[in-house]
Amino acid sequence: MTTTTPARVRLVTRTASGPVPALLANDVNEALTAVRAWPDTPRPGEGATAELWETLATVAATDLAVARAVEPHLDALAILHQAGVTEFARVPPAQLTWGVFAAEGPAGRVLATPGNHSDETWRLTGAKPWCSLADRLDAALITAFVPSGERRLFAIDLRAGGITLSTDRWVSRGLSEIPSVGIALANVAGRPVGDTGWYLTRPGFEWGGMGVAACWYGGAVGLARTVFAAVSERDDQDLLMAGLGRIDEQLTAARTALAHAAGLVDGEQGRRREVMRVAAKRVRAVVARACEDVLATSAHVLGPAPLTMDEDHAKRVADLQVYVRQHHGERDLAALGRALVTDGPAPW
């Protein structure tokens, strides 16, 4: 298998001109190995957020499953940096592969209790849903409920004992390489990362959510490039050109929203939680809507042939359909509306 250095996806014009570090397309395991050898990747909020999101979008434009594996790893490293954690399991965090397991579900919750008072280790027991790649990552950041009923973030070693994977089957056609089943923890050692409540209240919580939207955007760009190549060969058909124009309209809105948000993150506003809360909900809504529109428009323009005969295109469509469902549609739009009313006045 050969390495792929994809064409860079741009959010703004003045970002790094170098190539995105090469990854092995269509191979999540190789990508997880490769990402540990990347040079220092920009962290959000440190002046190069647009460059970071461009990197994520560029990887996603080539292979969304690889981006889905890389994004939480980079997010975890940024979270650990924000919390001042420089070592875990006796090595620098960047030498490990990471996941972020913060979802909650109706089947149960993870409870954390203080361990031996001579160290900082807590003990974690319970069930956690949606633990992507828990079967092959080295470590994870996981939320758990402490005795006060609040949530706190912990780092756990996924190679240690006491962790059992759910027997649920991962039957998804999209992101099939990213099994995201639950795990059960039984008295697993967890190292606190930040104080109680810190993970959910820090401005960086919203930064990570917009990094996910950058991946969605990259997936839509991958589809758009396929449409562009097809339409360029048939430029006498106005309806095809109209479809391309619609895709450009949607991607421009998404790109503009991401670029504006990257500027906010790197500025003084990036430290204001109320500003970031609205910005993240707005960006994710705009990008999700653009992705859904690009999925529909590309299907209208290209027809059934690439969906049934082009492995890369069919995979990209299925991957994006699953990935973008991390945006919860009308429920997230309602949350945006509530945030706007709470912060007031009207922003337009």
**pLDDT tens, N- to C-terminus, the chain (348 residues):** 445 566 889 998 765 555 566 565 668 999 998 888 887 788 999 999 999 999 999 999 999 999 999 999 999 999 999 999 999 988 999 999 999 999 998 878 999 999 876 568 999 999 999 999 999 999 999 999 999 999 999 999 999 999 999 999 999 999 999 999 999 999 999 999 999 999 999 989 999 999 999 999 999 999 999 999 999 887 668 889 999 999 999 999 999 999 999 999 999 887 888 899 999 999 999 999 999 999 999 999 999 999 999 999 999 999 999 999 999 999 999 999 999 999 888 999
Closest CA to 289 of 245, 337, 257: 257
Extract the tokens encoding 131.
Answer: 């633990």
Element (H, E) at 190: strand 183-192
Domain boundaries defined on the chain: 93-193
Report pLDDT for 2: 46
Q: pTM (2 decimals)?
A: 0.94
Neighbours of 170 (CB within 10 A): 13
- The owner of tokens 């957020």 is 49
Residue 78 CA: distances (Å) to CA of 7, 41, 98: 25, 10, 11
- The owner of tokens 């993870």 is 110
Q: Which CATH class name applies to 93-193?
A: mainly beta
DSSP 38-93: SPPPPPTTTT-HHHHHHHHHHHHHH-HHHHHHHHHHHHHHHHHHHTT---BTTB-G
